[in-house]
Structure 1
Amino acid sequence: MLQANLYRILIDTSPARVILCKDYEEALSAYQVALYTYSAKLSTKRPLLCKEMRLRVGDDVRSFFIEFVENLAQLRAFYADENTLLITPISSLIYPLPSQKYCQNLRLAVGKDYRLQELKDTLIRYGYESVDMIEMEGEVSFRGDIVDIYPPLSKPYRISFFGDECEEISVFSIETQLKEQAREDSLTIPPALFSLDCGEYERLCEAVEESDYQVMSKDMLSLGLWYLPHRELLPASYPSILTTNAARELAEIVSVDRGDALESTCAELDSRAQDFWQQVLVHIAESREDSMQMPAILQELESYRDVEFHLEALEALLAHHASKRTTIIVRSKSELAAISAKIVDSSNIVESSAVVHISTPDELILSLESTFTHSAAKRPKRPKFALDELNIGEYVVHSEYGIGIFKGIVQNTILGVTRDFIHIQYFGEDKLLLPVENLHTIDRYIAASGSIPVIDRLGKGSFARLKAKARDKLFAIADSIIKLAATRNLLQGSVIDTKAPELAVFQHSAGFGLTPDQSKAIESIFSDLASGRVMDRLLSGDVGFGKTEVAMNAIYAVCRSGYQCALIVPTTLLSAQHFATLSKRFAPFGIQVGRYDRYLSAKEKREVAESLKNGKISVVVGTHSLFGAEFSKLGLVVVDEEHKFGVKQKESLKQLSTNVHILSMSATPIPRTLNMALSHIKGMSRLDTPPTSRKDSRTFIKHKSDALLKEIIQRELRRGGQVFYLYNNIASMPAIYKHLQELFPELAIAMLHSQVNASESEQIMYEFACGKYQMLLCTAIIESGIHLPNANTIIIDGADRFGLADLHQLRGRVGRGDKEGFCYFLIESMESITEDAGKRLLALERNSYLGSGASIAYHDLEIRGGGNLIGESQSGHIKNIGFSLYLKLLEDALATLSNQPSAIEHSLDLRLNISAYLSPDLITSDSLRLELYRRLSLAKEVREVIDIEDEIRDRFGALDTLSQNFIQLIIIKILATKKRIKSILHFGQNIQITLESLEKHSIKAPTTDDDCVLESLLAYLRS
């Protein structure tokens, strides 16, 4: 009854400036009421909504970065306007927050003078993080006379200076990093964190540095909040309302039950807030007044009620409340077409986006929107390119010379010509200096389970032999893939009716809107099913992205057409999970679902087998036990995680599905290039968009201690959840198990690692999913495809020893349901970890979504997805040459055998004695130059190069001669490659061109000047 009773208070000219709610759901509901009263001019207070932030003293605020900057923006608006109402979950206001002093803005105007160094210093003091390339709110980038800035809750802006004068302020795109047309005359820049002066900034940084709190990186973002000298507890400073649910939540936060003796158990709370909240609890328990600014408790009256509302029942509801005034809320007047003119004429119409359904003693207020939902989580867009595609010290694979170590960009001058090269270290003293325009010939080395490769020797030919072996094997694999596809393509498939209106009813009954990817996948599958040919389609997408819902739409269509369906999975646990999901979903439609796996008795198996044979069961879910089953009329086989089946099982699967439709599902993403190569011979669909209800997991980097383990584990157990404890050393696991049992004698802990046999592993996972154990102590072998919505805390012990992709994937094991996931990266010593490991962990702590660092992790996972598609038997070849090159060779084999253009690029020997490189004076950051070199080397069309040239001009300023020369060099490379020229050699004025036919052409430039040589060669290539 929150909405109705809050409405009563808000229209009663309440002095409240703050409303504290139990959680974000309740705050969102309260916000709708306040928005309505403001829209209808029943209240003068504009509502502001804060995000939930379960932050505690000493926590690294970086883990709550997105919510924190959004809440600070709401706080600034609250301070700036007395006619505002702050609505917030109680957890977000439990501690004192920055006072108004720290919420001041900075204003820039076009045409005015500013000292750039002073501006830079101010923005750093305001909490902006200086980066090479902007991706997130709260970041700033300084590049000569150009400043990029992304203020919180705003757009990213590019500010151009001419000397000290502000020349232009433009909006720019995070994805493309290019300016958009929007120009501004001025820009108000709020602090990313706090508006500090020089002295305050230095004192705060000093306090943070000397702090006892253990965090990965001690800076203003991580711990600054806890050391701000001027903070205020808003409920103590402004008239506040505490909902009854919030009061209960408050009691839980301080571990005190309502009405108890109220012992001092508020150790989690900031000491400055502790006394106040203790008195609030006493006030609640004893219902006494207090001299402090005590929040008023929202009194609930039965005569003010929230009402259930659906548009279909509008007339009946109005008849029931015939004696009351009626107010109808619409987003726009056009919505009124959905109701009768009589209701419109007799009601008060209010235009507002608020969703309110309440009944008071004399009024009924209804919104034509039946429900309000979470405002979709703002998933930050990320650049189309990543800065850490190649890192110094990492293994790389050159397509001709093999595996070496990437050592970065070096500049060399030979015979007066200066160029940039990529330095790759090979075995012994061997090194390769690769011209930057040929960066496309190297890739990061990735192999299964983080294999350590053998570094190659230059000039020994051993890598060429390894590559030739792998290529031979791949041609055999590609041949079998194509033959299987061709055979299936000739088969006549059962024609399924995919136009029936009942299919739309089934889709609607899911209770949630499909993502665009899901809708597109269903459309493609329906097209295949209705085509008359046998469907063979792969559906890839992460766990929780809705693959099962897509498959159920296909199953329903096939069952409606009178056929049976089988959903085959690799483990009994998955079988149980899918059976529960399908049974619940299909029950209202009268479709009988059966289950067939090793947890059924012999008698139950016989009964299911008989029902399949006589057609009583329409859908069956099971493991490989199903391969020998007989069906009455099998129309569709859905296979989940096919790569996890053994060779014999795959053969049985082929026999079962030779002339029926087949849909394979994979939780590991398939590389886009391989996707394209395979799409010519089988259908491919991807689900890349997460559901809007899915929350990102919260990530913390912590120093390992027993006290911390108790806090983490007890927090999860208090909310009825389960915990993964990940420890990647099997030999030491028994000692960890013993220590955890000593810390938690009552805790049921299971242990799982690669030396536990398959059937026992499956049994352990099944029992964990059923709730027999509260904690799973395991290595990094946690099943990727398993959905465990009750396990929402993962502890990764020794996180600094894991790779970025592994950490990113492991973090994804939690937060799969509607509960927030917590991921703890534990480290023995903050001081002893390497700089690279520190950067990895910090990137993941701050970026709970796929940011630039995590997009590399995603790239690694994509490559592994390609490995899954090929099969484990190829791991030896993959280890020898790396996944990236292996997949390129597979794509080439598929293309060759399918009579498509080769995936392997034509090789051009380009040797021009000219100085050409992206100038470090123009692009000062090595990582930015490397990223641009990589993109230019991968460009296939001249148009792409021109676009990148425009981008450089936009982001860094006008190109100098050396940078312009390099752009010309790349254009020459593209044109020559398209014309399949074998080599271009140059000395002085003379240029020799060798064609693929070995025919030689010579041209002579008018002078030896670099620009003259380039222009002559371009003129020849374009002629």
Structure 2
Amino acid sequence: MNSIYEFLKNLNDEKNLKKCQLLVVNDDRQAQIASDIVSFLGFKAFTLADFRANFGDDLLSFSTELQDITKALNDFYSYKKENKILISPIRTISFAMPKQSCFDSFEISFADSLNIEELKNKLYNWGYYFVDIVTSESEVSIRGDIIDICPLGSEVGYRISLFDDEVESIRKFDIEDQKSFKEEIESFKITPAFLALSQEKLEEINEEIEKVESDAFIKDIHSLGFWYLDELGEYLPSKLNSYITQEALEELDEVYVFEDKRINKDKFLTLPQIYRAKNYQEVAPANLKEFLTFHEDKKVTIISSSEAKVKAFDLDLSNKDINYVFDSFIINLVGNNEVIISLNKEIKKRRKKRIKLVLDELQNGDFVVHEKHGIGQYQGIEPVVVMGAKRDFVVITYAGDDKLLLPVENIDLIDRYVADGSSYAVVDKLGKGSFAKLKEKVKDKLFAIANDIIKIAAARELVNGIKINTQKKILEDFALSSGFTYTKDQKRSIKEIFEDLSSGRVMDRLLSGDVGFGKTEVAMNAILAVVLDGFQALFVCPTTLLASQHYYSMKKRFDAFGIKMAKLDSKTSTKEKNRIKKDLQEGTLQLVVGTHSIIGVKTKNLALVIIDEEHKFGVKQKEKLKELREDVHIFSMSATPIPRTLNLALSKLKGMSSLLTPPSERLGVRTYVKEYSDKLIKEIVLREKRRGGQLFYVHNNIASIEAKKADILELLPNIKVEIIHSKIKPADAEKIIDKFENKEFDILLATSIVESGLHLPNANSIIIDGADRFGIADLHQLRGRVGRSDKEGFCYYVVEDKKKITNDAIKRLVALESNSYLGSGTALAHQDLEIRGGGNIIGEAQSGHIKQIGYGLYLKMLEDALSTLSGETKEKSKTVDIKLAISAYISSDYIHEDRVRLELYRRLSKCQSKDEVYVIEEEMEDRFSKPDTPTKQFLDLIIIKILAIAKAIKTVSSYEMNITFVKADDTKETIKSPSKDDDDIIATTLTYLRK
């Protein structure tokens, strides 16, 4: 930092701005520091991403970095003033970069005439992805006279509405929920998503790529194009006035570890160097006011993102001796004549938002659960002509080739079938009534569980809780001593726990959040608050492995605060166990971390019990823990998210907190899709070994897992491999995991049993065999096993033969690899996880009932049971059978993509009021233009359904001009329409229902 500042300040003082156009630094962190200094000194900074690929790598998993590089270079070249500096990490700039001629931009303005075919070709040549729905930058969707596009670098999309070929309106839209903003705009700019290539040049590069030997799953411009720019590329350090820092030169050997198509190493050695600073040094003052008194004779600059921050540091804004700069820079330097101090904290790169819109990804053949008929297989949506009118029906097959045709307006009666990962659905028999009996059995079981939950909650309400003082200054110090900034979710959860602990009521709170999202840190704040008030705490985990992990991480944090703690599990010797139990009873131990060995211990003044992975404990075990002392505070933690509706039902009985944002220091997991080859497996394993790491190898077949181990050992005789799967005894499995954590072997070969609960920071590569046979939620979960430390994780989805897998499987895998379309995929994965989380919360995750009726229906029934027993009157869901002779369906001419139509059918079928339908109709008009006749009539059909249910009508049917309504009490009424035309039948029906 100090050397760059001194060098650039001298350039600035000499007014020699053109002397440095490119600044080469060692990594992205140094690039950010350099960018702050460059901007602070009045230059215009453009920063390239740290591109850590090796020549020939499949670049889909580097798409974010490539997009950032494209955007930065485009901005650099289009900025016409001289005071600009391009900043690059050495790994990035050691490759040829695209020339200035590869960049361009164009505007689309109100009233422009657009040639759609020309626009399509241009966007394709410029590297844009054509998709059904635009959910991230570099994507475009053309639907008739509506064009959606999200240009590279934009956080919002732009929706163009055409009248014939003329731009009638342009509005921004939110890529999370697809809704456009009200205000129209005049114009917007489109820059290349990759490069501004001509059709001929693109074809030339694609031909070159086709000849290349590569293990890229799909060989195209996006996966390999950057490597084959040839005459379109140039070595920027030779082209621009370039300087290199000494730290970057020291990084050279690291950069050239791999044989690579990079700039000759010697070329960097000939670049002018930025030597270590003579007149400046970096500082980190502990006491700012005191520090400033030592430098009163110097020019003082304070950088702050806001005036409020200045006041928080007790500095005087009116002090003329201090130059205040309000910006986000982080520069802390002291020189011979000046001092620069920043009050800002480092902010990590923003993460991509999770898409709110869940697209229905039901595939033909997927299992679904119908509320009345049970488990069947979804076979798609088919148009059927009934009484001369066309309607869409969902086709579901049951045992014995029986078929159920479900009208799309009632699609809310089915749900995707989700059970635990190892369950395979068994289809039911239509019309046997066996599913109804099964549901009754499950209902009884659920009422018993719900009853227990409510009884315990009610009993605890009557007890006075231990009141804990949570206002101590030392608790703030503890948060600061963590070495990282808490996420907003962590801060909120700690606040909620502290409110519970200090309220005088007994706390019963559940915290849900993915592994690695900082649940333990939240729990430690609660432990410290309790211990500082003179009480004891117990921390219970389901396995000895987790107990060990938690014990050592807590000991590290708590030693400085003088907390006496111990670990109690099946590995603890009898002598040690007796000592721990005695110390707990006498009160000399303040915290014990352990497994269910803790259940039944006697304590002197226990105030808090924390249950980790609480879904792994049975209801009875949890109740025994609560019996340790009736006024004890209970804090449970779960690694699966809880569905919103169940969250609401349970929140009346217990406190609910959730961690949804990952810690800022977590790196993303680099993902690749590959076809199996021995060479590939060897390379992956050796690459991870070179950096001192271990691997998971997921092979989801117990019968052939030993043969897979033999294959790996034949390939890599010096590698140590251990196997784990569900048929191995829990005690043995725990020993294997322990050995893995202690780095006694290299590869943990496992079934999908490793999907959740393991936190092994040294295992940072995962190979998933037969990835095409996993659902997107499972692939998403498995990928989450790696990248849990500050090391980058690598995930390899491996398929046996890419020619033999379906297009849908290819789409899903490539989507996970590039993250470009992950919006709906990740949202869908989370939806599955939420459903599972809801099942887990009851402690009945292994119940056969869930397997028989699926998690979704199980949760619905549990919510109903909780509501009923809590005294809430929840209206029973009513249905109506509509047999009107009208053509009503979302037309494929209006919306081409089946999954988008399915999603809209699902949302419309769940509407319970006319207003909800009108909101969706408005959104459809915004996204797809005015609905055509059959689509408009389907929207009317949904209104008819809602009005008929409100009037307790169970059937609405028509024959010729007669419309018949059958009420719940079986009374009938028939009215006449002016004609048998669709619009007359609809208008007459609506008039009757609105009376």
Shorter-chain TM band: over 0.9
Alpha-carbon distance in structure 2 between the residues aligned to 1:657 and 1:396: 45
* Alignment match of 2:265 (pick from 257, 278, 282): 278
Matches within 5 A, 1:485-496: 485-496=457-468
Q: Counterpart of 1:115 in structure 2: which amino acid? A: N
Partner of 2:436: 464
Shift of 1:1002: 4.3
Alpha-carbon distance in structure 2 between the residues aligned to 1:238 and 1:433: 68
Alpha-carbon distance in structure 1 between the residues aligned to 2:115 and 2:755: 56
Alpha-carbon distance in structure 2 between the residues aligned to 1:739 and 1:296: 52
Change (3 A) 1:679 1:821: same
Q: Secondary structure at the match of 2:956?
A: strand
Shift of 1:131: 0.8
Partner of 2:131: 131
* Alignment match of 1:300 (pick from 265, 269, 276): 276
Alpha-carbon distance in structure 2 between the residues aligned to 1:479 and 1:536: 17
Matches within 5 A, 1:805-844: 805-844=777-816
* Alignment match of 1:30 (pick from 24, 27, 34): 34
Alpha-carbon distance in structure 2 between the residues aligned to 1:248 and 1:502: 42
Partner of 1:101: 101
Shift of 1:161: 1.4
Q: Counterpart of 2:26 in structure 1: which amino acid? A: K
Q: Secondary structure at the match of 1:486?
A: helix
Partner of 1:379: 352
Partner of 2:301: 327
Partner of 1:288: none
Partner of 1:116: 116
Q: Secondary structure at the match of 2:248?
A: helix
- State whether structure 2 residue 659 is matched by structure 1 residue 687: yes
Matches within 5 A, 1:811-960: 811-847=783-819, 851-872=823-844, 875-902=847-874, 905-960=877-932
Change (3 A) 1:176 1:340: closer
Structure 1, 926-935 or 647-656: larger mean CA deviation: 647-656
Q: Counterpart of 2:659 in structure 1: which amino acid? A: L
Q: Counterpart of 2:241 in structure 1: which amino acid? A: P
Q: 2:303, 2:324 within 8 Å by CA — same for their partners in 1? A: yes
Q: Secondary structure at the match of 2:352?
A: coil
Structure 1, 415-424 or 468-477: larger mean CA deviation: 468-477
Q: 1:698, 1:848 within 8 Å by CA — same for their partners in 2? A: no
Partner of 2:237: 235
Q: 1:696, 1:849 within 8 Å by CA — same for their partners in 2? A: no
Alpha-carbon distance in structure 1 between the residues aligned to 2:821 and 2:621: 37
Q: 1:379, 1:849 within 8 Å by CA — same for their partners in 2? A: no
Change (3 A) 1:381 1:867: closer
Matches within 5 A, 1:717-736: 717-736=689-708
Q: 2:9, 2:41 within 8 Å by CA — same for their partners in 1? A: no
Shift of 1:317: 4.7
User: What are the superposed Cα offsets for residues 435-485 of structure 1, whole Å, 9 maximum, x if unpaired?
Assistant: 110010111111212422222332233333333332232233223332333
User: What are the superposed Cα offsets for residues 321-359 of structure 1, whole Å, 9 maximum, x if unpaired?
Assistant: 455433333445665544555994334444443211123
Structure 1, 674-683 or 510-519: larger mean CA deviation: 510-519
Percentage of matched positions with identical amino acids: 46
Alpha-carbon distance in structure 2 between the residues aligned to 1:368 and 1:650: 47
Alpha-carbon distance in structure 2 between the residues aligned to 1:316 and 1:849: 51
Partner of 1:72: 70
Partner of 2:772: 800
Q: 1:891, 1:903 within 8 Å by CA — same for their partners in 2? A: no
- State whether structure 2 residue 191 is matched by structure 1 residue 217: no
Matches within 5 A, 1:431-446: 431-446=403-418
Q: Counterpart of 1:378 in structure 2: which amino acid? A: R
Change (3 A) 1:368 1:500: closer
- State whether structure 2 residue 494 is matched by structure 1 residue 522: yes
Shift of 1:698: 1.2
Q: Counterpart of 1:17 in structure 2: which amino acid? A: Q
Structure 1, 360-369 or 389-398: larger mean CA deviation: 360-369
Alpha-carbon distance in structure 2 between the residues aligned to 1:446 and 1:342: 60
- Count of residues in Structure 1 that have an aligned counterpart in Structure 2: 986
Change (3 A) 1:898 1:351: closer
Matches within 5 A, 1:500-579: 500-579=472-551
Shift of 1:140: 0.3
Change (3 A) 1:646 1:178: closer
Change (3 A) 1:514 1:1020: farther
Q: Counterpart of 2:338 in structure 1: which amino acid? A: E
Q: 1:145, 1:163 within 8 Å by CA — same for their partners in 2? A: yes
Change (3 A) 1:308 1:187: same
Alpha-carbon distance in structure 1 between the residues aligned to 2:926 and 2:670: 36
Structure 1 unaligned segments of length 5 or more: list them: 39-44, 256-265, 284-293
Change (3 A) 1:485 1:339: closer
Q: 1:567, 1:622 within 8 Å by CA — same for their partners in 2? A: yes
Change (3 A) 1:998 1:219: same
Alpha-carbon distance in structure 2 between the residues aligned to 1:331 and 1:342: 14
- State whether structure 2 residue 949 is matched by structure 1 residue 977: yes
Change (3 A) 1:609 1:302: farther
Structure 1, 512-521 or 811-820: larger mean CA deviation: 512-521
Q: Counterpart of 1:66 in structure 2: which amino acid? A: T
Partner of 1:59: 57
Shift of 1:74: 0.1
Partner of 1:478: 450
Shift of 1:8: 5.2
User: What are the superposed Cα offsets for residues 139-196 of structure 1, whole Å, 9 maximum, x if unpaired?
Assistant: 1000101110011111310111111112222111112212113432222211111111
Change (3 A) 1:301 1:512: closer
Alpha-carbon distance in structure 1 between the residues aligned to 2:142 and 2:975: 44
* Alignment match of 1:313 (pick from 276, 280, 288): 288
Alpha-carbon distance in structure 2 between the residues aligned to 1:803 and 1:657: 44
Q: Counterpart of 1:64 in structure 2: which amino acid? A: F
Alpha-carbon distance in structure 2 between the residues aligned to 1:330 and 1:861: 41
Alpha-carbon distance in structure 1 between the residues aligned to 2:388 and 2:368: 30
Q: Secondary structure at the match of 1:831?
A: helix
Shift of 1:85: 1.4
Shift of 1:216: 1.9
Alpha-carbon distance in structure 2 between the residues aligned to 1:164 and 1:209: 37
- State whether structure 2 residue 763 is matched by structure 1 residue 791: yes
Q: 2:925, 2:931 within 8 Å by CA — same for their partners in 1? A: yes
Q: 1:397, 1:882 within 8 Å by CA — same for their partners in 2? A: yes
Alpha-carbon distance in structure 1 between the residues aligned to 2:775 and 2:619: 30
Partner of 2:87: 87
Alpha-carbon distance in structure 2 between the residues aligned to 1:643 and 1:741: 37
Partner of 1:289: none
Q: Counterpart of 2:167 in structure 1: which amino acid? A: C
Q: 1:329, 1:349 within 8 Å by CA — same for their partners in 2? A: yes
User: What are the superposed Cα offsets for residues 350-406 of structure 1, whole Å, 9 maximum, x if unpaired?
Assistant: 44432111233433222233x4332x3231341x32224322221112112222221
Alpha-carbon distance in structure 2 between the residues aligned to 1:413 and 1:797: 45
Partner of 2:159: 158
**Structure 1-normalised TM-score?**
0.91
Shift of 1:570: 0.8
User: What are the superposed Cα offsets for residues 580-607 of structure 1, whole Å, 9 maximum, x if unpaired?
Assistant: 2322333333333322223333333222
Alpha-carbon distance in structure 2 between the residues aligned to 1:651 and 1:331: 50
Alpha-carbon distance in structure 2 between the residues aligned to 1:129 and 1:849: 10
Q: Counterpart of 1:327 in structure 2: which amino acid? A: T
Partner of 1:773: 745
Q: Counterpart of 1:28 in structure 2: which amino acid? A: Q
Partner of 1:763: 735
Shift of 1:1001: 4.3
Shift of 1:6: 4.9
